[in-house]
Structure 1
Amino acid sequence: MLLVIAVALFAIVEPRFVSGANGINLSRQLSFLLLFATAQMLVLLTAEIDMSLASNIALTSVVSATVMTNVGEGAVGALAGVLAGLATGLLIGLINGLVTSVFNVPSFIVTIATASLAFGLALLLSDGSPISGLPEGFTSSLGYSSIGPVPVSFAIALLFVGALHVLLYWTKLGRYIYSVGGSQSASRLLGVPVVRTKTIAFTLAGGLAAVGGLLLTARVASGEPNLGSEYLIMSIAAAVLGGTSFFGGEGRLAFVSVGALFLVLLSNGMNLIRVSSYTQQIVVGLLLILAVVLDRWQARAARGS
Structure 2
Amino acid sequence: MKKIMILFCVCYILLASATMASVVNPHQTYTYERMKADIWELEKKYDDDLTVKTIGYSHFGRRIFAVKLGKGEKNILLIGSHHGREWLTSALLMEMLETYTKSYQANGKVGPHSTDILDEVSIWFVPMLNPDGVTIQQGDIKKFPKYHRDNLVLMNMNSTDFSRWKANGMGIDLNRQYPVGWKNHANNDVTIPTYQFYKGKKPISTHETKAIVKFTKKIKPQIAVSYHTSGREIFWNYNNKENQQRDLSIAEKVAALTGYKLASPPQDAIGAGYTDWFISTFQRPALTLEISHLVGETNPPLEVFSEEWEKNKFIGMMLAKEAKNINNPK
Do Structure 1 and Structure 2 share a fold, with TM-score over 0.5? no
- Structure with the largest fraction of helix: 1
* TM class by smaller structure: under 0.3
Q: Which has the higher contact order (CA 8 A, sep 6+)?
A: 1
Q: What is the TM-score of this pair, normalised by structure 1?
A: 0.28
- Structure with the largest fraction of strand: 2
